Structure 1
C-alpha cells in the first residue's frame, strides 16, 4: 500500500516555506488536514529549536582538536633534499658536457610539441601534489578523536 500523503522531507520543506514544495504536493497540503497538522508540528519544533540557547562547552574545543593533530613534518625532509641536490648536480654536469648536442636536438623539435610536453609535465606535478595533500588531510582526519 502506498501513501498519498507528503513525505517527511516534503513536510519539513513545507514547514520552512510552502513555496519550496512542487505544485502537486502544495495542492495536497492545502486539502489534507493530517498533513497540515504534521507541518504545524514541524513548525513548532523549528521554533522551539531556534529558541534553545547556544551550547557552551566546559572545555576549549579548539585547543582539544589542535592538541590531537600530528606535528607537521617538513615539506622536504633532509634526505629528500640531499637526493634532489645530487640529481640537480648530475643534470648540471650532463648539460655542461652535452649541452650543445641537447640544444641542437631541441631546435629540431616543433615548438608546439615542446610546449605541450612542458604543460603536461607541469600538470602532472600539480596533480600529484594535490593528491598527496588530500591523502595527508584524510590521514589527519582519521587521527582525530572527539572524546
Structure 2
C-alpha cells in the first residue's frame, strides 16, 4: 500500500528541520510515544537505528527506525519495522514563499501475515489518516508549541 500526505507549515524550513531533527521533540507530536532508545549508530545519521515504544489505547507497539538517507534540510528517508509491518517513509521539505515549508511524506507499507495484510486491504484510509495526524500534530507543535504529550 502506497500513498502521499503533505502539509504546509508556517515556518521557514530551517526552523522546521531543527524541531523535527530532535528526538526530544518527538513526544510533542507523536501521540502515544512512551520512550525511545538509540540501538546503534550515530543518532540522525544514515544506518542509525532507534527503538520507539508507543501506547495506543490498550495496545503496546514497538517500532525500529532505520535511517536510510538524511539530507536535511531537503529530505529524510527511513524505515519503521514492527511485528508484521515494514513501513518505508520518504520525506521531502520544500521552502515556499513567505517563510513557509511544505512537507511531503511518501509512505509505503508492506505487510506480513494474513491478519496484517487483511487489515491493510480493509482499512487503507486508517493508515493515511494516522500519517496525516502526525503531520498535523507536528505542525501544531512547530507553529504554536502545542504538545500532544500534555493531552490526556
Q: TM-score range by the shorter chain?
A: under 0.3
TM-score by length of 1: 0.26
Bigger helix share: 1
TM-score by length of 2: 0.26
Higher RCO (C-alpha under 8 Å, 6+ residues apart): 2
